[in-house]
Amino acid sequence: MTVRFFLIVFLLGLKLGHAQLYEVTRYADDNGLPSRIVHDVVQDSLGYLWVAGNNGLYKFDGSTFHSYYAKLNDTSGLRSNKINKLIASKDQRLWIGTPSGLHVLERDSIRYVSLASRKRENQNHVITLFEDSRGAIWVGTYEGFFRIDPISNTASEFPEIQNVAQEAASVWGVSEDSEGNIWIGRGDASPLIYDPQTGTFRLVKVLLEMSEIPEDLILFEFVEFEPGLFLIESSNGLLKGVLQGDNKLIVDYFYTPEGKPASTNFIYKVLVDSQGSIWTATWKYYCRKFVLKDGFLVEVALQGTKDFDKMSNFSRSVFEDAQKNIWMPNSNGLFKFSKAGDRISVFPPPHLENCLENVSIYSILEDKKNRFWINTPSHLYRINKRDILEGKCPTKYLAFDDEKFQLARDMIIDSQNRLWISGQGGISISQLDFNDEPGPFFHLNVPKGLPHLWSYEVLEENPQTFWVGNYHRLLKITFEEDNFRAPKITTFDSSPDRADALINSYSLQLAKDRNGQLWVGTFSGLSKLQSEEDGGHFKNYSSVFGKADHLSNNSIKRIFVDSQGRIWIGTQEGLNLYQETDDSFLQFGRQEGLPSEYILGIAEDSQSYLWVTTTNGVFRGIYNASMQGFVHIEYFHTKDGLADNISNRNALYIDKEDNVFIGSSKGISVLNPLKAVQEVRPFHLGVTTLECIQQKETGFVSILDRMKDETLHLSYYENSIRLQYSVLDFTQPKFNQYRHKFLPLNEDWIYTENDSKLTYYNLPPGSYELILDGQNNQGIWKETPIKLTLFIAPPFWKSDWALTVYVVFGLALIVMLYMLRIRKRVRELEQETRLEKALIRERELLRNQNAADFHDELGSKVTKLSMYLTLVERNLQENADTASWLGKMRDTIKELSGSFRDLLWVIDPQKDTLGDTIIRLRDFGEDLFQTTETNFRCSGFQDILLAVNIDPQTKKQLIMVFKEAMHNCAKHAEASEVILNVSLTDNLAMMQLLDNGKGFLPNAVDEGRGLRNMKLRCLRIGALLTVESSNGSTKIQVSAIPILETRNALQ
């Protein structure tokens, strides 16, 4: 006999009180838990599960087991990989009992705890651990009993136990009663009670009232069920202990109502769960569950799905977590018992095999006797509804395997109690008798008038008239004289030549509205019958892309008329509501709350909830006409207990008690949301891994121990992080959902479904807030998500102190540059002052020189005038002609006037520019040549020259040089054209006087008469005079003329 067969026979074949169905999940070395043999399991205050394995300690977050192992020759950490017992204390420490001693885990680090001063091997071998109501940790070993003080964390040994008991014994169990006394179970030795108030022990006298006292009776642990009543773990079952007085314990079996001992198996651990039920972990008899009722111990049959049959008969402990899951450490793994939901059950029961030959449910129909007619791809069944509601394997039922019923998706029982079955085998009709038993079936097929064998929905108009959807036509079937074996069939077809014909001959769905009009759903749209004459006249409706007041899709999957007369049309791309007032439609999709837009079924319960089955679960909601939307929406998925998220088309039925039956390929899901209120399960969120890259060579390393109060400080080179967090609800962790925000980078929630691993690379320095949220399989998000604050420090050259240094250095640099600029400006001002003084001296010298020159010239000219006047007086006395002398006097006066104007112009500081000099020479030349045949012009003059300053000496010498040149040209050149040209390059200027006269030989001319003075004048100002002349061309050029500056404003 196999273990599996024995387990099923043992747990299901007994006549027990009642059965409880659990979803059982196994964790072992072949699916994540490294240890197959598990000794104990606890849950800490943060929500993590800790598993005591035969070869290590493991922390479980719902998806991953994180390992903790002993290291060879490590005297400070974990000394043994075999973990016997675990206790998660109130102060967030984990106490670990091993054959090599006691250990404690704090802040993810394990350290060894010394117990006895005289260390013996058996004295360190920890058998049991217990935390009392005061926070003290009690440790039982093979040869010792110890107490860890919660304040001083020191271990106290109680050698007086041996004196009180007068015998040495191992301590197998420690517990606390309602009065705060500590009970010490010592196996085959007498138990003790420790009074914390007096600090004394007293021996408990055990009185056995069993009819047959076992010779090898061993009492391990005493668990108070109610004041004065104890559950006793023993080698001979779960025993009852009644305390009399201070130290007398009456021990007996718990009995069944039939008077037999309820439990006689070797008990390793007993648990009283949150519902008051009693669980036992046994040797050889798996695990068992009881309820104590009227003094009797009644066993509850355990029924399990999935991994239930993989449990070995050796269970070592039992534990209930915060979500009320039961955990069973076993020699073949760790087993989790999650209670199946009260709101949803599945038929046939998944844990029972071969209930039905085919579990894919195509259609569901209830008859007057509360029996269900169920069609599958291969069989037609009639099953008692009570069997379906109670999740039983039916024993009495009808089964038909007629191939004509195969793949039939539509059934009705008409007003004459006739059963109709339509499908790919045609239409089958049977008259049910007074006991609703079926008579012979009449099969309507193509030879008997069907246009095609495939038939669909049947709709009764009256007892003799029925509408039937067919692959090739819409059918109207009429019975004459109530004889369904001789039907008359009228067909309605589509026609491309008629707009009012049936929109498509493939008629799938039928319904009649409150006005009695027939609606026909096809693969090409919707038709409403308006008249049956002339092959039928229809009003047709179809989908138009982008038109929200039309059908959302043309493939009609379901037509349903609710209790308010509203017409709902389900398509493969949305749900539609017909608006009679304006002959239009409202469309509903995902944005309006549907879990999927592919509609498979529609029904309504007595509370006006509309139920919609889709390809992604079931939708339930109440339609609010004023809002044109749904309220009180609820969803059902496989995580809630559905057999499958995808139901079969039209396999949706709601009975009078509002039980909802949904057929799928995996059976019938039975829902009654009004029967049971969903109990909200509390859960924690936890960061399970937190890593960063510190060196490229080593990759990611853990930094979880650096997180303090959900705050983490990282250096600039640790700016690539990776983490994972978990919803610590272990009921169905595969359906847990996750979302997060990463501020300030992402202010909206980012949903990651069942994946909670997050990685961020190369984060810039700064402050970040990572908000981590999770949802359990009940669809409940955590009210207080994790808010992890990250501070990534900048590199030292970007740190605050570095910025301070930079600011100070910058300010110092600015001050230094400012001081240098001030010094430079002072030097420039000093130089300008010196230049200004030199210029003033030069101007003063120039004025003095000009005054002296003018004085000499004035004296010369006045002498000439005096002489010319004397000659004129002489000629007048002699009556001679005076005109020549008067002319000379006029010329002399004119020369004197010009010299005077030149003097005034030269000493004018407003005219100290190269441009003013050119203008002066241009005006002089125009005056000089205007009475001659010579064409004079100026070339190269620009406004920029008015901004080019030259010193007064340069200005004077240039005027004198080019005036001399122009006078010589006017007197001797006989030129037809004279050009005064100027150009400016960098800080030097050049002036030229060009003519096309007869020229001269510069070397042959007496330099004392002109050229020598011109060269001297150029040398005075540092310029260079060049003279080039030939027959027809003369060029007098002054180059390298120094300039002082260019005025920025004009430039």
In a domain, 806, yes or no: no
Pairing relationship of beta strands 757-760 and 766-775 according to DSSP bridges: unpaired
What is the signed CA dihedral for 588, 592, 598, 603, rounded to 10 degrees?
A: -70
Helices (H), 312-391: 385-389
Per the CB < 8 A criterion, the answer to whether 502 and 527 are in contact is yes
pLDDT of residue 2: 37
Residue 898 domain flag = no
Residue 995 phi, psi dihedral angles, 5° rounding: -145, 165
Residue 844 has pLDDT above 80, yes or no: no
From 798, 825, 853, the end of a domain falls on 798
Using alpha carbons only, give the angle 483, 489, 493 rounded to the nearest 5 degrees: 160
CA distances from 102 to 269, 363, 423, 466 (A): 21, 62, 71, 81
Q: Which residue has the tokens 């080593």?
A: 698
How much of the chain exceeds pLDDT 70, in percent? 90
Residues 865-913: tens digit of each pLDDT: 777 677 777 777 777 777 777 777 777 776 666 666 666 666 666 777 8
Contact indicator for 290, 238 with CB cutoff of 8 Å: yes
Report the mean per-residue pLDDT for the chain.
86
Flag whether 516 is in a domain: yes
Three-state secondary structure readout of 440-508: EEEEECHHHCCCCCCEEEEEEEECCEEEEEECCCEEEEEEHHHCCCCEEEEEECCCCCCCCCCCCCCEE
pLDDT score recorded for residue 479 = 92
Choose the weakest-confidence range: 172-176, 182-186, 353-357, 661-665. Answer: 353-357
SS3 171: coil
Q: Looking at the predicted structure, is the pLDDT value of residue 614 above 90?
A: yes
Give the pLDDT confidence of 289-345 residue by residue, as tens digits: 999 998 899 998 888 877 888 889 899 999 999 999 999 999 999 999 988 666 788
Mean pLDDT, residues 480-495 taken together: 90
pTM confidence score: 0.67
Q: What is the mean pLDDT of residues 23-50?
A: 93
Tell me the backbone φ, ψ of residue 417, rounded to 5 degrees: 65, 40
Averaged pLDDT for residues 550-561:
95
How far is the C-alpha of 196 from the C-alpha of 210, rounded, in Å? Answer: 32
Helices vs strands, H then E, count in the chain: 9, 71
pLDDT band at 73 (very low <50, low <70, confident <90, very high): confident
Q: What CATH number did the domain enclosing 734 receive? A: 2.60.40.10
Helix (H) / strand (E) element for 364: namely strand 363-366
**Segment 2-18 mean pLDDT:** 39
Structurally, how many domains does the chain consist of?
Answer: 4
| 578 plus 432 within the same structural domain | yes
Q: What is the band of 846 on the pLDDT scale with cuts at 50, 70, 90?
A: low
Higher pLDDT, 458 or 697: 458
Q: Among 97-111, 567-581, 609-623, 857-871, where is mean pLDDT lowest?
A: 857-871
Tell which of 733, 763, 798 closes a domain. 798
Do 292 and 369 fall within a single domain?
no
Are residues 549 and 692 located together in one domain of the fold? no
228: left (phi over 0), alpha (psi -120 to 50) or beta: left
535 and 569 part of one domain = yes
Residues 191, 183 contacting (CB under 8 angstroms): yes
Shared domain check, 987 and 924: yes
The per-residue DSSP string of 960-987 comes to HHHHHHHHHIIIII--SEEEEEEEEETT
C-alpha–C-alpha distance, residues 1002 and 783, integer Å: 110
Q: Is pLDDT above 50 for 4?
A: no
Question: What is each CA distance from 1017 to 914, 962, 964, 967, in whole angstroms?
Answer: 17, 11, 11, 16
3-state secondary structure of 851: helix
pLDDT band at 960 (very low <50, low <70, confident <90, very high): confident
- Both 444 and 479 in a single domain? yes
pLDDT at 583: 94
Same domain, 396 and 337: no
Boundaries of domain holding 400? 355-602
Residue at 331 is within a domain: yes
Lowest mean pLDDT segment, chosen from 348-352, 845-849, 982-986: 845-849
Q: How confident is the model at residue 785 (pLDDT cuts 50, 70, 90)?
A: very high
Residue (of 620, 695, 7, 608) closest to 330 by Cα position: 7
The CATH number covering residue 945 comes to 3.30.565.10
Token pair of 720 as six digits: 């690539």
Q: Is 90 exceeded by the pLDDT of residue 988?
A: no
How far is CA 799 from each of CA 719, 805, 806, 831, rounded to the nearest angstrom? Answer: 15, 10, 10, 46
Compute the average pLDDT of residues 704-733. 89
Residue 992 has pLDDT above 80, yes or no: yes
Decide if 553 contacts 541 (C-beta within 8 A).
no
Residues with Cβ within 8 Å of 759's Cβ and at least 6 positions away in sequence, in order, are 720, 721, 722
Q: What is the pLDDT of residues 278-291, one digit of tens each?
A: 999 998 888 899 99
What's the order of all strands across the beta sheet hosting 537-541?
A: 507-512, 518-522, 526-531, 537-541
Q: What is the Cα–Cα distance from 380 to 400, expressed in whole angstroms?
A: 5
The amino acid sitting at 5 is: F
Would you list the DSSP string of 56-83?
Answer: EEEEE-SS-EEEE---TT-SSS---S--
Q: Are 432 and 579 found together in one domain?
A: yes
How confident is the model at residue 842, as a pLDDT?
Answer: 65
Is there a domain that residue 44 lies in? no
Lowest mean pLDDT among 238-242, 643-647, 876-880: 876-880
Tokens for 618? 């079931």
Q: Looking at the structure, tell me whether residues 423 and 476 fall in a common domain.
A: yes
C-alpha to C-alpha distance for 185 and 498, rounded to whole angstroms: 93
Tens of pLDDT, residues 909-940:
677 788 888 888 888 888 888 888 889 999 98
Q: Choose between 270 and 869: higher pLDDT.
A: 270
284 inside domain: yes
Q: Within a domain: residue 417? A: yes
Choice among 33-42, 101-110, 982-991 with the minimum mean pLDDT: 982-991
Domain co-membership, 326 together with 364 = no
Indicate whether 392 and 283 sit together in one domain. Answer: no
- pLDDT higher at 412 or 216: 412
Q: From 287, 310, 343, give the residue that closes a domain.
A: 343
Is 127 a member of any domain?
A: no
Closest CA to 716 of 746, 694, 699, 743: 694
Residue 435, C-beta contacts closer than 8 angstroms, at least 6 positions apart: 369
CATH label of the domain that carries residue 463 = 2.130.10.10
Instruction: Say whether both 360 and 327 belong to one domain.
Output: no
Across the beta sheet with 584-588, the strand order is 556-561, 567-571, 574-579, 584-588
Per-residue model confidence (pLDDT) at position 131:
95
Q: Summarize pLDDT for 734-758 with one digit per residue, the tens.
A: 889 999 999 888 888 999 988 999 9
Contact 701, 721 (CB under 8 A): no
Residue 948: band (very low, low, confident or very high) from pLDDT cuts 50, 70, 90: confident
